[in-house]
Amino acid sequence: MDLSIAKNPIRLLWTDTCTIIGYADYVDANEATQQMEIPIIENEPCKLSYQSLNTVNQTDTAATISQTAKLFIDENVIIPPGSKIIVNGTLEFKQSGEAGRFVNHQEIMLIPAKDYA
């Protein structure tokens, strides 16, 4: 069964782009192992959808932001656990769980990379 017919209409809605940032070890001048951010995938078409908008939860020690977003992206894109996902060049998220994989796309729940107000 040719699924390319189903992919094209879905991807017409993907008006966003994302960059997937991973991490690699390197040894600095003091011979200490550090991690640096490296782009794994750049300018990948996607769609960002918000499941819930920002709410602030105040505790005794800090105010935390609660927001849930979902990323729709090609089913063949592999996003390693712990990666940073930057949507439209400015919105930073991290993956909050395993991707829901479907025949013509995958859905990934995201949370803001910075969760303190």
Given a cut of 70, whether residue 20 has pLDDT beyond it is: yes
Q: What is the pLDDT of residues 65-101, one digit of tens each?
A: 667 789 999 999 999 888 999 999 999 998 877 889 9
Q: Which of 90, 67, 108, 82 is nearest to 19 (CA)?
A: 90
75/14 Cα distance (integer angstroms): 13
All domains in the chain, ordered by first residue: 4-112 (2.40.10.370)
The C-alpha atoms of residue 52 and residue 14 are separated, in whole angstroms, by: 19
As a whole number of angstroms, the distance between CA 78 and CA 73 comes to 10
- Residue 83 CA from chain centroid, whole number: 7
Integer Cα distance of 18 and 4 in angstroms: 22
pLDDT (tens digit per residue) in 21-67: 998 999 988 999 999 999 999 999 999 998 765 555 666 666 666 67
Note the pTM of the prediction, 2 decimals: 0.75
| Count of CA atoms in the C-beta half-sphere (13 A) of 23 | 10
